[in-house]
Amino acid sequence: MKDGEALKKHRLFYILIGVIGLLAVLNIRLFWIQVAASRNWTEHGIDLVENSVIQREKGIVLDSGRGDFYDRSGKALTGRETQVLTVFPVRKEASLKDGEINATIARILQVAEPVWTSFVESLKAPQVWAVEGKHIPLNDAQIAQITALGLPQLTVSRLKERYDNVQTASHVIGFISQDPERISRQYTNQIHQGELQLTSRIGGAGLERTFDPWLQGIGATSVSLFTDALKRPLPGLDARIVTPRNDYYPVKVMTTLDATIQLKIEKAMAKLQIKEGAVVVLDAANADVIAMASRPEFNPQHIDLQNGAWANRALKATAPGSIFKTVTAAAALEEHVAKPDEMFECNGVLGKYGLTCWNKQGHGRISFREGYAESCNIVFAKIAERLKGVSLDNYANRLGLNVEVGWQGEFMQDAHFKELDGEEKGQIFADSTPREDGGVRAQSAIGQRDVMITPLQAANMVVTLLQKGKVLSPRIVKEVRFQNGRLMEAFDEKSVKGLSNSISSGTAARLLSWMNDVVDHGTGTALRSAKWPIAGKSGTAQTADKEGVPQVNQWFIGYGPVKQPRYAAAVMVQNMPETSASKSLPLFKEVMDILATAQ
């Protein structure tokens, strides 16, 4: 018994000696990392303890953890993922093989060797391999060859970039940026909890701003390489990916946009060289936004807040011209001040108001209905004499003008939540304008003077006619989902609240048939060659630039196909030279042809 106990004690003694020996080895290794190399650290001016930690923590963010936007079919609009080369700045002893290694890497990356060596030698912190500021994705062959090199300073990583180089629906999505003042004002709790810093990037415009509180996520994914204080990789410690583990975040914001249609419309605007303007396409059944494009072009990766290119022209109010005659016609029909077949005389000018018709020779004798098809200013100015200014204001309201129509309501305990950041409500009369003055009414009736509407309102007015007078509220986001697909919040279809009343279904149907006349034999005959039958109303608004040089806004609003309408649309080409040929009609035709072939 005693011999057995002695044997056990001897075994424990040897085990203890082994543990002590192992700890001694580890301590020697730690000593080497932090102290034994001090002969070099001193000459580099390195703080031993501080830098042993700093070097270990230096890494690069691969994914900010921010939620993403998707189109109606689930296609990602933001957050494109690519396989990239992450390069860490490391120090090692010079070797005759270094030149061979650089040449090999350059060959794999398909660049000249000086381009690669210049990139590596300039590194002061980890970076993703890029040429002229653009990250270069790797193909499968390149990934295999780089991995085979077994170099600790080179790691293939999955990088999630917020925006594409040419971002689809950029004005709708908006941008993220630093805004310390707004963070300190709006996100006080997150700052105190360490979730945000004053230098954090938050939504600055568009849906990025609207949904910012729910997009922020719960943390970033990063890759780090463990090195000693001299930036030498530590043996046995490879690059590490650090990522938050959560089934719910980041969230997915599901929009109503069709990414394919959106992209084709943007290309059509580029093809027609539209410098300023907007296109809005709505689902005729529920007013959901299928596409919303704006010009001038805007890159959310390179923001110039001063030039205003980031502003969404689809939501900005501007002079509508003759598309507003739809409101005047609705008021006249509802108030019974003119019959569709009533005849008027147009000789090209209405002297007492100094108002002219676009047809300088005049239309001669022309009916109210034909006056709409031919967009006769004289007919509508004379009809305006029979209407009160308050009636024009009232019927504009009934058709969803002079009010924000974009979806709004309660979301996440925010009773005043609005999906569309920066939407303007427009106006019919300025506050100081004597709206019962005859000249004011004549100018307003043809969409001039103070009248301003947005392309979104214009497209939605067509939906209102298709819905027999019911003013729907366009959605651009239908739901927010957690990362695992579970529903977080749904935005139900709804009507615009607080309107004075609605127009009758009979008036709505009549105006739709008059829009058909416009294309059949009026100002829109160029659209008869479209891929499916379409109807609508043209408009040209007189404006001027800052120096007072005359310009025009060119409009066309309408729907298609005529017999079974599926889409309503508005196109607006803004600030064109006064004598320039129309671009609104060819753009509208392109849009409708895109929709016709998307089925």
Q: Are residues 346 and 490 in the same domain?
A: yes
What's the token pair of residue 36? 């034994």
Residues 174 and 259 sit within 8 Å (Cβ to Cβ): no
Is 48 contained in some domain? Answer: no
Specify the number of domains making up the chain.
Answer: 3
Q: Are residues 202 and 265 in the same domain?
A: no
Q: Which residues, listed in sequence order, are joined to residue 127 by a DSSP beta bridge?
A: 87
Q: Are residues 440 and 548 in the same domain?
A: yes
Is 181 contained in some domain? Answer: yes
- Give CA separation, 217 vs 195, 211, 214, in Å: 10, 12, 7
The gap from C-alpha 125 to its chain's centroid, in whole angstroms, comes to 32
Is 54 contained in some domain? Answer: no
Query: By C-alpha distance, which of 472, 452, 451 is closest to 460?
Result: 472
**What value, to the nearest 5°, has the Cα angle with vertex 475 and ends 469 and 477?**
170
What CATH number does residue 215 fall under?
3.90.1310.10
Give me the pLDDT at residue 4, please.
54
Secondary structure class of 468 (helix, strand, coil): coil
Is 274 contained in some domain? Answer: yes
Query: By C-alpha distance, which of 130, 99, 138, 143 is closest to 117?
Result: 99
β strands within 339-491, DSSP E = 343-346, 349-350, 355-356, 364-367, 408-411, 414-418, 477-481, 487-490
Residue-by-residue pLDDT tens, the chain, 599 positions: 445 555 555 555 555 555 455 555 445 444 444 444 334 433 433 343 333 333 444 567 888 889 999 999 999 999 999 999 999 887 654 444 567 888 999 999 999 999 999 998 888 888 899 998 888 999 999 999 999 998 888 989 999 989 988 899 999 999 999 889 998 888 888 888 777 888 888 999 999 999 998 898 877 777 766 665 555 555 555 566 777 878 889 999 999 999 999 999 999 999 999 999 999 999 999 999 999 999 999 999 888 888 889 999 999 999 999 999 999 999 999 999 999 999 999 999 987 888 899 998 999 999 999 999 999 999 999 999 999 999 999 999 999 999 999 999 887 667 689 999 999 999 999 999 999 999 999 999 999 999 999 999 999 999 999 999 999 999 999 999 999 999 999 999 999 998 988 999 999 999 999 999 999 999 999 999 999 999 999 999 999 888 889 999 999 999 999 999 999 999 999 999 988 899 999 999 999 999 999 96
Q: Are residues 129 and 204 in the same domain?
A: no
Q: Are residues 123 and 197 in the same domain?
A: no
Is 27 contained in some domain? Answer: no
Give me the pLDDT at residue 43, please.
40
Q: Are residues 186 and 279 in the same domain?
A: no
The span from the CA of 294 to the CA of 575, in Å, is 14
Is 1 contained in some domain? Answer: no
Is 235 contained in some domain? Answer: no
Q: Are residues 442 and 545 in the same domain?
A: yes
Q: Are residues 289 and 353 in the same domain?
A: yes
Q: Are residues 391 and 481 in the same domain?
A: yes
- Our separate counts of H helices and E strands in the chain read 20, 25
Q: Three-state SS across 231-284?
A: CCECCCCCCEEECCCCCCCCCEEEECCCHHHHHHHHHHHHHCCCCCEEEEEEEC
Secondary structure class of 508 (helix, strand, coil): helix
The span from the CA of 391 to the CA of 389, in Å, is 5
pTM: 0.85
What CATH number does residue 506 fall under?
3.40.710.10
Largest distance between two CA atoms of the chain: 130
Inter-helix orientation angle 455-466/325-335, to 10°? 40
Give me the pLDDT at residue 599, please.
66
Give me the pLDDT at residue 238, please.
59
Taken in order 160, 165, 170, 176, the sign of the CA dihedral is positive
Q: Are residues 206 and 91 in the same domain?
A: no
Taken in order 523, 526, 530, 533, the sign of the CA dihedral is positive
Say if residue 439 is exposed, middle or buried (CB neighbours under 10 Å; 0-12, 13-18, 19+).
Answer: middle
Q: Are residues 170 and 287 in the same domain?
A: no
Helix (H) or strand (E) holding 318: none
Q: Are residues 127 and 86 in the same domain?
A: yes
Give me the pLDDT at residue 14, please.
55
Q: Domain range spanning residue 374?
A: 259-300+313-597
Is 436 contained in some domain? Answer: yes
